[in-house]
Amino acid sequence: MVRIVAGHAQGRKVRSVNVRIGAMRQIVPETLVYCWSLVTENSPLAGAELLVQRVPAKIRCGACGREQVLDEPVLKCDGCPDGRLDLVEGDEFLITSLDLAEV
Amino acid sequence: MSMGRFHRHEDGTEHDHHHDHDHEHDHGHEHDHEHGDHSGYATGADRVVVLESIFAENDRTAAANRRDFDDADLTAVNLMSSPGAGKTTLLAETLRRLQGRLRAGVIEGDIETSIDADRLTGLGAVVSLINTANGFGGECHLDAPMVRSALPRLPLTDLDLLVIENVGNLVCPAEFDVGSHASAMVYSITEGEEKPLKYPVMFRSVDLVLVNKMDLLPHLDYDLAAFHANLKAVNPGVTVIETSARTGAGVDAWCDWLCALRQ
C-alpha cells in the first residue's frame, strides 16, 4: 500500500488515502487503519489518514437476472431456487484515490 | 497532466471535477477556501485517482507463477483447510495412490517445523517446504511470492501435478492467489455443520470440498444434510467428495478429480 501511495503522490504530502473494501473481503477496517498508522509513522506518509469506504455484497442471479444486496453471506436468489449467482460487488480491496495537500 | 487527476493547480487553470455549486476560483492566490471535495473530508486538497488493487503485487506474482506452471505443462492445486482437518494424512494417501498415474510435487506450507514435509517424503513425490516463520510465529497463509521462492527447488518440467498445501487456516489463505489453476479444501466433519456459514469466503473460493473423517460419522452428533445445505448456501455449484483418509474411502474419487484437471 505504501508503495502504491508513494508512487502516486510523487513526493507530495498526502492528507488522506481512500480505500474501498467489499463486504466479502475478510479485512477488518479498524485493524487496517491501525496497521497503516504503525507502518507510516516516522515515514514521509506519517499523518496520512486512511479513510475506508465499505461496499456491501451484491449478487446477480444467472436465471432471472435480478440483482440483490446481501445482508448475510448466503448466496441465494430470493426468486429462483437454483441457478448461477455472480458476485457483482463486494469483492473490492483497492486504493481509490489520494487527497494531497496543496503545493 | 498526470493520469487520473481530477484537477490541479500548479498552473492555476485546470479543473475537471464538478462542483455542485457555483463559485469563482481566483487562481492567483493561496488556496485557503473549501474546494467542494466530494468525500466531505479533505478540504483544500488535490485528489489523485488511484483505483489500484492493494493485492496487485501479489496478483502479478501469482500470474508469473501460473505462467511458469503452464510453460512446464504442470497443473497446480491450492489445497487449504483448518488445522487438523486431515490435510496431510489425506495428501499422503493421495500421493501413494497417484504413483504411476501422475508425477506429483508438493509445496508444503507450515508456520514451523518440517513434520508434515517429513510425513510426505518417500511417497514418490518431490516435496519443497516453506516455513513462514522467522523466529516465533509466522504468516498464517502462503502468498504468491512465498510460493515463487519455492519453485527453484522443484523440477517443474518433470511434474504433472503440484499440490500447494497451504497453512492450516480458514481465513487468510482464501484471500491470496498463489498462481494455482484450481483450489480445493479439506473440511472434516468434526469441525461442525455451520463452518461454511462462518467462513463463507473460504468455502466460496474453492472448486472442490473434500468432506473428511467420514469414518467418524457414527460416533458424532453430526447433521450431514445441514452441512450440505450450508455449503450450498455459500457455494452453490461446488463439487463435494466425502472421504476418510483413515479408511481410504473416497480417496480414489479425489485422485480421479485431480487426474481430470490434466485433461
CA B218 distance to own-chain centroid: 33
pTM for the whole thing?
0.81
pLDDT at B18: 41
Query: Does the structure show a pLDDT above 60 at B23?
Result: no
Which amino acid would we find at residue A29?
P
Amino acid at residue number A22: G
The yes-or-no verdict on residue A63 having pLDDT over 60 is yes
Query: With 50 as the cut, is the pLDDT of residue B208 above it?
Result: yes
Instruction: Decide: A93 and A21 in contact? Cβ < 8 Å.
Output: yes
Q: Which residues contact B160 (CB under 8 A, 6 or more apart)?
A: B73, B74, B75, B102, B103, B104, B262
Determine the residue among B50, B170, B177 to mutate to test chain A binding: the one whose Cβ has the most chain A Cβ atoms within 10 Å.
B50
For chain B, the average pLDDT equals 85
Measure the CA dihedral A65/A68/A72/A74, to 10°.
-10
Size of interface A-B (CB pairs under 8 A): 100
Residue A36 clears pLDDT 90, i.e. is over it: yes
Contact yes or no for B38/A86 (Cβ under 8 A) = no
Residue B77 · residue B184 · CB < 8 Å: yes
Q: Which cell numbers in the block locate residue B118?
A: 517429513
**For the segment B75-129, what is each residue's pLDDT rounded down to a tens digit?**
999 999 999 999 999 999 999 999 999 999 999 998 888 899 999 999 999 999 9
In b/e form, how buried is each residue of B174-203, taking b as 16+ CB within 10 angstroms?
Answer: bbbbbbbbebbbbbbbebebebbbebbbbb
- pLDDT at A4 exceeding the cut of 90: yes
Q: Which residues neighbour A81 within 8 Å (Cβ) at sequence distance 6 or greater?
A: none
User: What percentage of chain A reaches a pLDDT higher than 70?
Assistant: 98
The pLDDT > 70 percentage for chain B reads: 81
Query: Distance (Å, rounded) from C-alpha A51 to C-alpha A31?
Result: 13
> Over 80: is that where the pLDDT of B19 sits?
no
Reported ipTM: the value is 0.83
Going by their DSSP bridges, the two strands B182-188 and B126-131 should be labelled as unpaired
A-contacting residues in B 99-128 (Cβ below 8 Å): none
Packing angle, helices B87-98 and B251-260, rounded to 10 = 70
Query: Which residues in chain B have their CB less than 8 angstroms from residue A99's CB?
Result: 37, 39, 41-42, 45-48
**Could you tell me whether strands A85-89 and A58-61 are parallel, antiparallel, or unpaired per DSSP bridges?**
antiparallel
pLDDT: which is higher, B40 or A32: A32
Mutation target vs B (from A82, A85, A99; most B CBs, 10 A cutoff): A99
CA distance B109 to B95: 17
- Look up residue B254 and give its amino acid: W
Average pLDDT over residues B227-236: 92
CA distance B259 to B75: 10
Q: Binning pLDDT at 50, 70 and 90, where does residue A78 land? A: confident
pLDDT tens sequence across B131-164: 888 666 688 899 999 999 999 999 999 999 999 9
* Joined grid coordinates for residue A85: 449467482
